[in-house]
């Protein structure tokens, strides 16, 4: 039975370029930027740019309506045969824009059911939407979890907006961390594969990430992706302006190695744009800007 289960799991990730290192050489993903709003403030994020939880800071993606996004996905599915995954990862938090996010997924699932759907979130609203995620057959969800300790969380998140109220400091961090854990648990119960992203911030959570790794592994996360903080002063983030540095490649590798004995680590992340197109290493977003893809047609059209 175990061999059979492993085989099934392999099939679930075989064509996902992020969940399978092997797959990223052959299969492509597309991100559609339909989700502008966010419900928290990370100190490494400037809202003028894409969500830095799953993206390269300093990049501005072109915002689309769900209908435009679905058209784009269908056009690209016709032009890039390696396309297997459609992800929503910004420019804000997809679950702070649930109507836009789920409408987009619905439109695409209806016309191109072979495309796998993928979602990335800060986790605040995840537990509320796991049923809907399951219904839509979304089998890959990423939660960005930078800490499991509210005292560290307080240094990473400046506020959390929850139930129509804004919580600052440790109070906000506590809510976010609890909701993330609840979301992770709910994914596990629904048997949805979960990847956890952690942004490594030297002097703040670097030594703590092995603890994060231990906790998420025990809660059933499938894959851990530790990404380096990118903090250029010109990006205007809190960390950028206060001189917080990112890790060196060597520091990053050391932390990844320290976790690697415990669970699968992702090491081929390219910190994509919220409108990335193509194989992970080859971004073709400029071939499919809105003025271009709106002129193109697809055999699957809406
Ligand atoms: Fe996109 Fe993310 Fe899905 Fe992949 S990206 S929503 S899991 S389809 Fe992949 Fe890009 Fe790294 Fe993200 S390389 S930033 S991990
Ligand atoms: Fe920025 Fe994403 Fe954090 Fe929201 S969740 S503040 S968009 S990095």
ipTM score of the complex?
Answer: 0.95
Residue 209: HSE in the Cβ half-sphere, 13 Å Cα cutoff? 31
pLDDT digits (tens, 9 = 90+) for 246-286: 999 999 999 999 998 878 999 999 998 889 999 998 889 89
Q: How far is CA 107 from CA 31, 43, 129, 202, 209, in A?
A: 15, 34, 18, 42, 38
Ligand 2 pocket check for 51: Cβ under 6 Å: yes
Cα separation of 141 and 119, whole Å? 5
Burial class (CB in 10 A: 0-12, 13-18, 19+), 182: middle
Q: What local confidence, expressed as pLDDT, does residue 299 receive?
A: 67
φ, ψ at 41 (rounded to 5°): -125, 110
The Å distance, Cα 16 to ligand 2 centre, comes to 24
Q: Among the atoms of ligand 1, which is closest to the Cα of residue 24?
A: 13
pLDDT digits (tens, 9 = 90+) for 128-142: 999 999 999 999 999
Mention every residue, 6+ apart, whose C-beta is less than 8 A from residue 134. Answer: 190, 192
Q: What pairs with residue 118 in β-bridges?
A: 87, 140
Ligand 2 pocket check for 45: Cβ under 6 Å: yes
Q: Which of 38, 97, 117, 30 is nearest to 69 (CA)?
A: 30
The Å distance, Cα 299 to ligand 2 centre, comes to 36
Residue 250: HSE in the Cβ half-sphere, 13 Å Cα cutoff? 0
Region 208-221: mean pLDDT is 96
Q: Tokens 């059209």 map to which residue?
A: 301
> Where is pLDDT greater, at 143 or 50?
143
User: Residue 302 pLDDT > 60, yes or no?
Assistant: no
Q: Which of 25, 120, 138 to mutate to test the pocket of ligand 1 (most atoms within 8 A of CB)?
A: 120
Q: What local confidence, expressed as pLDDT, does residue 301 receive?
A: 57
Q: What local confidence, expressed as pLDDT, does residue 23 receive?
A: 92
Ligand 2 pocket check for 95: Cβ under 6 Å: no
The Å distance, Cα 211 to ligand 2 centre, comes to 23
Q: Which ligand is closest to the CA of 21, given by its number?
A: 1
| Average pLDDT score over the chain | 94
The Å distance, Cα 77 to ligand 2 centre, comes to 28
Ligand 1 pocket check for 273: Cβ under 6 Å: no
Domains of the chain (ranges, CATH numbers): 2-288 (3.20.20.70)
């Amino acid at each position: 039975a175990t061999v059979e289960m492993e085989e099934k799991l392999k099939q679930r990730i075989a064509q996902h370029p992020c969940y399978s290192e092997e797959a990223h050489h052959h299969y492509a993903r597309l991100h559609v930027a339909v989700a502008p709003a966010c419900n928290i403030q990370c100190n490494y994020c400037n809202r003028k740019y894409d969500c830095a939880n799953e993206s390269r800071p300093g990049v501005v993606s072109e915002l689309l309506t769900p209908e435009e996004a679905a058209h784009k996905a269908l056009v690209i599915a016709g032009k890039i045969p390696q396309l297997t995954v459609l992800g929503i990862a910004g420019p804000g938090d997809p679950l702070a824009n649930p109507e836009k996010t789920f409408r987009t997924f619905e439109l695409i699932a209806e016309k191109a059911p072979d495309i796998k759907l993928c979602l990335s979130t800060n986790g605040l609203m995840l537990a509320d939407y796991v049923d809907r995620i399951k219904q839509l057959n979304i089998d890959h969800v990423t939660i960005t979890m930078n800490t499991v300790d509210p005292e560290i969380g307080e240094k990473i998140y400046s506020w959390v907006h929850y139930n129509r109220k804004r919580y600052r400091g440790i109070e906000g961090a506590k809510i976010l961390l609890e909701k993330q854990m609840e979301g992770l648990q709910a994914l596990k119960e629904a048997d949805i594969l979960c990847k956890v992203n952690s942004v490594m911030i030297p002097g703040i959570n670097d030594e703590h990430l092995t603890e994060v790794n231990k906790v998420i592994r025990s809660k059933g996360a499938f894959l851990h992706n530790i990404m380096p903080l990118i903090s250029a002063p010109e990006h205007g983030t809190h960390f950028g302006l206060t001189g917080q540095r990112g890790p060196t490649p060597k520091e990053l590798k050391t932390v990844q190695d320290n976790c690697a004995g415990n669970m699968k680590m992702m090491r081929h992340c390219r910190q994509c744009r919220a409108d990335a197109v193509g194989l992970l290493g080859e971004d073709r977003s400029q071939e499919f800007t809105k003025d271009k893809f709106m002129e193109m047609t697809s055999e699957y059209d809406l």
